[in-house]
Amino acid sequence: MKLIATALGIILACNPLPVFADNSTQLQGYGQGIEKDEINRPLGAVDFNNCYQKSDAYSLSDDENQIILTFDQGYENGYTSKILDTLKEKNVKAIFFLTGDYAKKETALVRRMIDEGHAIGNHGMTHASFPKLSVEELKEEITSLHDFVLENYNYEMQYLRPPCGEYSEKSLQITKELGYKTIMWSFAYVDWNTENQPSPEESLQNALNCAHNGGIYLLHSVSATNCQILGSLIDGLKAKGYTL
């Protein structure tokens, strides 16, 4: 599966929802786990892919030589411009998942992401937990941000990451019916705590050691560490034979 693909086009018409099993609304928190398979893929990511591809939900790409860099954009901390500089220098495209607040406030950065060929993804208008919303609330949470980005940036999003990795079978299915692919991740680390940033050296080595076929890396642009190591991370992954 190529995640960077032709835009799907959002389905905004009200289609009948399927009948779900009683446990389909149960909140589940995604995590890739620490156990690995024989080719270094986290077993939690492998299991998620196997269970939910039918709902167009993925934590790994089928492109074995590719690693996809993704950034969650909840708020701006002064590093996104430098991250974009590095991506441009290295000729690498990424997916940036925006909340509604970010899309509304950081217009210059969002415009730059689009103009420089990156993909923009939906991270929820208010960053609400999807399984805790009613069907109508969930549809509004997704489509209101979709419409805002389309109207203000002339850009139609096709990828979505549920806030905090929280989902249910029902939320995944509704997301699919709205024309989106759900994109989780197969590598992440504690990079979001701006008051306690991890060591750049250890973080870089960890990210390189965890490299695997079809990897989807989750990074946060609020992280000073990510900003500092990004160029070296890209070079190191390419040296291992991956495209990004």
Integer Cα distance of 23 and 240 in angstroms = 42
Residues 216-228: b if buried by 16+ CB within 10 A, e if exposed: bbbbbbbbbbbbb
Residue with tokens 């993909």: 119
**Neighbouring residues of 108: CB distance < 8 A, sequence distance ≥ 6:** none
Q: Indicate the Cα dihedral angle 134, 138, 141, 143, nearest 10°.
A: -130
Structure tokens at 226: 């990510």
Integer Cα distance of 220 and 70 in angstroms = 8
Active site residue 127: no
Integer Cα distance of 46 and 223 in angstroms = 27
Report the relative pairing of strands 28-29 and 166-167 from DSSP bridges.
antiparallel
User: Containing H/E element for 14?
Assistant: none
Catalytic, out of 123, 146, 212, 220 = 220
Active site residue 72: yes
Integer Cα distance of 63 and 44 in angstroms = 18
Catalytic, out of 56, 72, 118, 123 = 72
What region, left, alpha or beta, does residue 219 occupy, with left being phi > 0 and alpha being psi -120 to 50 degrees?
Answer: beta
Q: Which residues are catalytic?
A: 72, 220
